[in-house]
């Protein structure tokens, strides 16, 4: 794998820093150091924001078609470099080489979607008596963006593509656990964008992240991560009256009706829903509601499916479940597993798995608990391959329980009855409802959360509204006759 031994912040088109402090990018499965990265602090953030501020007027005035052309180049570069970046991510974060190419396909789709969408992102205008009414959409200025570690390529694309397409300049802080592929992308961004348009400040949340959210010249904030930090960002935005978009945690219900036709296929899709991304996804379908009538047969098949999921080295193409991002996350997940053993019925899994040669990695066996909706493991986001199964019989009770969590990001429904699907979809408090296929993400379809899962929508045309503000320009043909004289 070819990476640099050290990565510097990208500020004003250059790789530069004021500090010698660094932090390691470590291979998740082995603990081996892959590279060091500058630990950005206030000085780097201030310089990056100043560069973004200086670059803003020219970038905002750049024709949308030209901004789109550069985003299309980013997509092409990602396509050409996918194999290399997949290996970097697999080592850096422990996700599998089987799964990661899909992250890149999705990221590439985002750059292409927003390159196209910005060309049709019109304001409004009309001829009115005696003149014209024009509503223009204008970018905010410097956008501060903070992302998490679970799907770095996707997160970078969700943030950069719409913000840049709309004519904002950006200061992006990647997650301290997963910066490497973003820093690699940064080398290409520095080649093609005018200096200052995209700046990357790797570092820690309380340091670089806090400096970015507090900076008086940042005109909009966008964040993906835990609901806890989301609240901190929202407070920072409130203090300076700048808009904030948030994509936060989830504890999504996945509902199986008794009328499903192909049980094996549904079992497979629900197992995938709970364990893709090693369970470290805000979208994960972690509360599985299985109908009473089919419960015993479904559970037998599901248990078998979980036991067949191959756990191993992220770099082995046969592996379906790699390791968790870090020891901290591993301990957090295992604590929830212990809680589950006390409050629920452990069906399978429930232990750390040793993978020879990868002793530092936190591999967790795919785990199923039978429980009720009011337990901690059913209510709190675990972010590991841990599924809570809840047996249901009465439709209204099930709907009440499906909605009875603080989150509202995603949801799933399996049924052969279209009316059933639509009536259930109408009642779910969630930004996403997937019928018969979990994580069916399409470029352009709105993505975001109800309740504590966030504010705003990404991936869609409306995202461009989030990154622009409206200005009304009213033109009168002539000055009106005097009122007072
Ligand atoms: P986190 O929310 O602390 O980290 C996400 C990002 O926020 C990182 O870039 C971090 O540096 C930054 N950050 C942290 N504190 C900050 C602050 N005070 N000011 C500005 N930026 C700050 O998430 P963490 O601790 O890595 O994971 C904890 C839990 O959060 C996970 O177990 C999971 O439940 C949830 N989570 C949800 C994600 C999602 O996609 N919705 C992604 C990552 C975590
Ligand atoms: Mg790492």
Per DSSP, the residues of 368-408 read EEE--TTSHHHHS---SSEEEEEEE--HHHHHHHHH-SSEE
pLDDT at 485 (0 to 100)? 80
Could you confirm whether 323 is annotated as catalytic? Answer: no
Q: Using alpha carbons only, what angle is made at residue 230 by residues 224 and 234, rounded to the nearest 5 degrees?
A: 120
pLDDT at 319 (0 to 100)? 98
Tell me the pLDDT band of 123, cut-offs 50, 70 and 90.
Answer: confident
Pocket test for ligand 1, best of 103, 148, 212 (most atoms within 8 A of CB): 148
pLDDT at 341 (0 to 100)? 98
Considering every ligand atom, which ligand is closest to the CA of 207? 1
Distance CA 323, CA 146 (A): 24
Tell me what the mean pLDDT of segment 469-477 comes to: 96
Taking CA atoms only, the protein residue closest to ligand 1 atom 38 is 225
Catalytic site residue from 247, 381, 401, 458: 247
Distance CA 116, CA 72 (A): 9
Are 39 and 205 within 8 A, CB to CB?
no
pLDDT at 471 (0 to 100)? 96
Question: What pLDDT, in 10s, does the model give residues 351-364?
Answer: 999 999 999 999 99
**Domains in the chain, please, with CATH?**
6-248+453-472 (3.40.605.10), 253-435 (3.40.309.10)
Question: What pLDDT, in 10s, does the model give residues 314-359?
Answer: 999 999 999 999 999 999 999 999 999 999 999 999 999 999 999 9
pLDDT at 187 (0 to 100)? 98
Taking CA atoms only, the protein residue closest to ligand 1 atom 24 is 226
Tell me the pLDDT band of 51, cut-offs 50, 70 and 90.
Answer: very high
Burial-class residue 238 by CB neighbours within 10 Å (0-12, 13-18, 19+).
exposed
Tokens of 301: 């098949």
Q: Which residues' Cβ are closer than 6 Å to ligand 1?
A: 146-150, 173, 175-176, 204-206, 209-210, 213, 224-226, 229, 232, 247-249, 282, 332, 381, 383
Pocket test for ligand 1, best of 226, 235, 331 (most atoms within 8 A of CB): 226
- Provide, rounded to the nearest whole percent, the portion of the chain with pLDDT above 70: 100
CA-based diameter of the chain, in Å?
92
Question: What pLDDT, in 10s, does the model give residues 274-285?
Answer: 999 999 999 999
**Atom of ligand 1 at shortest distance to CA of 248?**
41
Could you confirm whether 359 is annotated as catalytic? Answer: no
Distance 328 CA to ligand 2 centre (A): 12
Q: Above 80 in pLDDT, residue 241?
A: yes
Give the total residue count for the chain. 485
Q: Above 80 in pLDDT, residue 1?
A: no
Tell me the pLDDT band of 203, cut-offs 50, 70 and 90.
Answer: very high
Distance CA 22, CA 291 (A): 52
Phi, psi of 402 (to 5 degrees): -55, -35
By the CB criterion, residues less than 5 angstroms from ion ligand 2 are 26, 92
Is beta strand 352-353 parallel, antiparallel or unpaired with respect to 412-414? unpaired
Q: Above 90 in pLDDT, residue 60?
A: yes
Tell me what the mean pLDDT of segment 159-169 comes to: 99
pTM score of the predicted model: 0.98
Chain Cα centroid distance, residue 193: 24
Average pLDDT, the chain: 97
Question: What pLDDT, in 10s, does the model give residues 427-444?
Answer: 999 999 999 999 999 999
pLDDT at 2 (0 to 100)? 78
Q: Return the CA Rg of the chain.
A: 24
Pocket test for ligand 1, best of 41, 179, 205, 452 (most atoms within 8 A of CB): 205
Closest alpha carbon to 385 in 278, 303, 253: 278
């Amino acid at each position: 794998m070819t990476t640099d031994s050290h990565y510097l912040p990208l500020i004003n088109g250059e790789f530069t820093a004021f500090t010698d402090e660094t932090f390691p990018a470590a291979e998740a499965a082995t603990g081996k150091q892959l590279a060091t990265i500058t630990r950005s602090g206030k000085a780097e953030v201030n310089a990056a924001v100043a560069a973004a501020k200086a670059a803003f007027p020219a970038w905002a005035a750049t024709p949308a078609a030209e901004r789109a052309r550069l985003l299309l180049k980013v997509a092409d570069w990602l396509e050409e470099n996918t194999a290399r970046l997949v290996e970097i991510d697999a080592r850096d974060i422990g996700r599998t080489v089987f799964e990661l190419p899909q992250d890149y396909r999705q990221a590439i789709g985002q750059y292409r979607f927003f390159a196209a969408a910005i060309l049709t992102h019109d304001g409004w205008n009309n001829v009115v008596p005696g003149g014209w009414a024009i509503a223009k959409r204008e970018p905010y200025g410097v956008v501060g963006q903070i992302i998490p570690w679970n799907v770095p390529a996707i997160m970078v694309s969700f943030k950069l593509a719409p913000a840049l397409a709309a004519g904002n300049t950006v200061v992006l802080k990647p997650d301290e656990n997963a910066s490497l592929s973003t820093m690699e992308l940064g080398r290409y961004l520095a080649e093609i964008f005018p200096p200052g348009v995209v700046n990357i400040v790797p570092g820690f949340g309380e340091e670089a992240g806090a400096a970015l959210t507090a900076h008086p010249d940042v005109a909009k904030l966008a964040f993906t991560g835990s609901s806890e930090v989301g609240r901190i960002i929202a407070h920072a935005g409130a203090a300076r009256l700048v808009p904030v978009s948030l994509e936060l945690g989830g504890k999504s219900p996945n509902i199986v009706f008794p009328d499903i036709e192909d049980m094996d296929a549904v079992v497979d899709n629900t197992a995938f829903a709970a364990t893709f991304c090693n369970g470290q996804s805000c979208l994960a379908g972690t509360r599985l509601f299985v109908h009473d009538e089919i419960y015993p047969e479904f559970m037998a098949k599901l248990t078998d499916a979980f036991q067949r999921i191959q756990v191993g080295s992220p770099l082995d193409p046969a592996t379906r479940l790699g390791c968790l991002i870090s020891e901290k996350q591993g301990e957090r997940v295992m604590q929830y597993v212990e809680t589950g053993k006390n409050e629920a019925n452990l069906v399978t899994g429930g232990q750390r798995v040793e993978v020879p040669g990868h002793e530092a990695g936190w591999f967790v066996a795919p785990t199923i608990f039978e429980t009720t909706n009011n337990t901690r493991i059913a209510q709190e986001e675990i972010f590991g391959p841990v599924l809570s199964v809840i047996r249901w019989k009465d439709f209204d009770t099930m709907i009440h329980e499906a909605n009875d969590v603080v989150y509202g990001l995603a949801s799933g429904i399996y049924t052969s009855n279209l009316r059933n699907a639509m009536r259930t979809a109408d009642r779910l408090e969630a930004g996403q409802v997937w019928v018969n296929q979990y994580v069916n993400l399409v470029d352009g379809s709105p993505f975001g959360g109800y309740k504590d899962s966030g504010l705003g929508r990404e991936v869609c045309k409306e995202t461009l509204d989030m990154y622009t503000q409206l200005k009304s320009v009213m033109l009168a043909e002539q000055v009106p006759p005097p009122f007072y004289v």
